[in-house]
Amino acid sequence: MQKLVTVVITVYNGEKYLAEAIESVLNQTYRSIELILVNDGSKDRSLEIIQDYASKDDRIVIIDHPNRGISASNNAAIAIAKGFYYAKIDADDTMHPQRIEKQVAYLENNPEVTMVSCQAYYINGKGKIIGEQITPGYTKIEDSHIARQTGELVIALHSGFMTYMEKMREVGGYREDLKCMVDLDLYTRLTQKGGVMIIMPDKFINYRMHLSSVMAVTSKDNLMQVTRSWLRDSYRKQAQGIIPLSFEEYKEAQKKDSLWTRLMRQCANLSYHFRRNAIIYYGDRAYLPFIYSLTMATLLQPTHIFKRLVVWGRRKIKH
């Protein structure tokens, strides 16, 4: 008998692509699925779409609450979940029909592994494949042991994540005091508790990059980068037996860095912003904004962009 897998989708104003995400879960070859759909205070037709699918498939469970954010929404699902396994996908992504079947089989056949993720295709707003997202590392069990010893921040695709439900509950689910990077923090806490992450080579997820997700240069960009840097610093210090700084203390400490260090950090942050936008513009054939974004990303961080282009070129040659 198949063990139940709880798949969680949280949505805030995601009506445009939500149906595709839901159908990709319901059409899995692995049938023992509980799909918890959390409407996080959407003001569009998201709840109506959720209710329509729930009326047709009794595997769907609905949570509808005022806007509380991604962590609180995921934790609300975990609190009522009945599954043996916990799996995630974002409301604008889709999954390959065999994703759940393959990941469950991997966990069952490799009992020393406690969590898995995977690689992904980038798709545009119309669902066309425009590239690949390849997350490096965590192909061997030893990678997690090293991360535990060094306090390395564990990075993996959230939409492709699966683990045991009991492991999620042991660490208290997602941190609700964080406004972003909650997935990386979760993987790292699970690893620090003895967990082992494997990133499977399969591209089980279609990761959507669409024009509505083009980021403006805002304080949110900076918050994401500072939070990621703070988490990395905090876990490394914990591994060394050093009490880490609070988030506010860390931000104040960064202000005392040299002008050059702060300038380089800002260049890296802005380069990431333009690099992400370049992918989105390219996928939607908005070539002038693409050229502008790629040029800005290169000017801000030329060495990094050159290295990424070399890796991309080698991958193309192999194929």
CA–CA gap between residue 77 and residue 246 (Å, rounded): 28
| Domain boundaries defined on the chain | 5-210, 213-318
Full DSSP string of 274-308: HHHHHHHHHHTT-HHHHHHHHHHHHHHSHHHHHHH
CA torsion 165-243-240-230 (nearest 10°) is 70
The SS3 of residue 60 is strand
Rg (the chain; Cα; Å): 20
Handedness of CA 138, 144, 145, 147 (dihedral sign): positive
CA–CA gap between residue 200 and residue 122 (Å, rounded): 17
Which structure tokens are listed for 277? Answer: 């936008």
Q: What is the pLDDT of residue 282?
A: 81
What secondary structure letter does DSSP report for 254?
Answer: H
State the pTM of this model.
0.90
pLDDT in tens, 178-235: 999 999 999 999 999 999 999 999 999 999 987 776 665 555 667 888 999 999 999 9
Pick the CATH number of 5-210 from 3.90.550.10, 3.40.190.170, 3.30.465.10, 3.50.50.60: 3.90.550.10
φ, ψ at 253 (rounded to 5°): -65, -35
CA–CA gap between residue 222 and residue 297 (Å, rounded): 16
Euclidean distance between the first and final Cα of the chain, in Å? Answer: 39
Q: What is the pLDDT of residue 289?
A: 84
Going by their DSSP bridges, the two strands 5-11 and 33-40 should be labelled as parallel
CA–CA gap between residue 234 and residue 232 (Å, rounded): 6
Q: What is the pLDDT of residue 198?
A: 99
pLDDT in tens, 240-293: 999 999 999 999 999 898 999 888 888 888 887 888 888 888 877 888 988 988
Going by their DSSP bridges, the two strands 85-88 and 5-11 should be labelled as parallel
The SS3 of residue 40 is strand
Q: Among 262, 146, 245, which Cα is nearest to 197's?
A: 146
CA–CA gap between residue 241 and residue 238 (Å, rounded): 5
Is pLDDT of 59 > 80? yes
Which amino acid is residue 163, in one-letter code? Answer: T
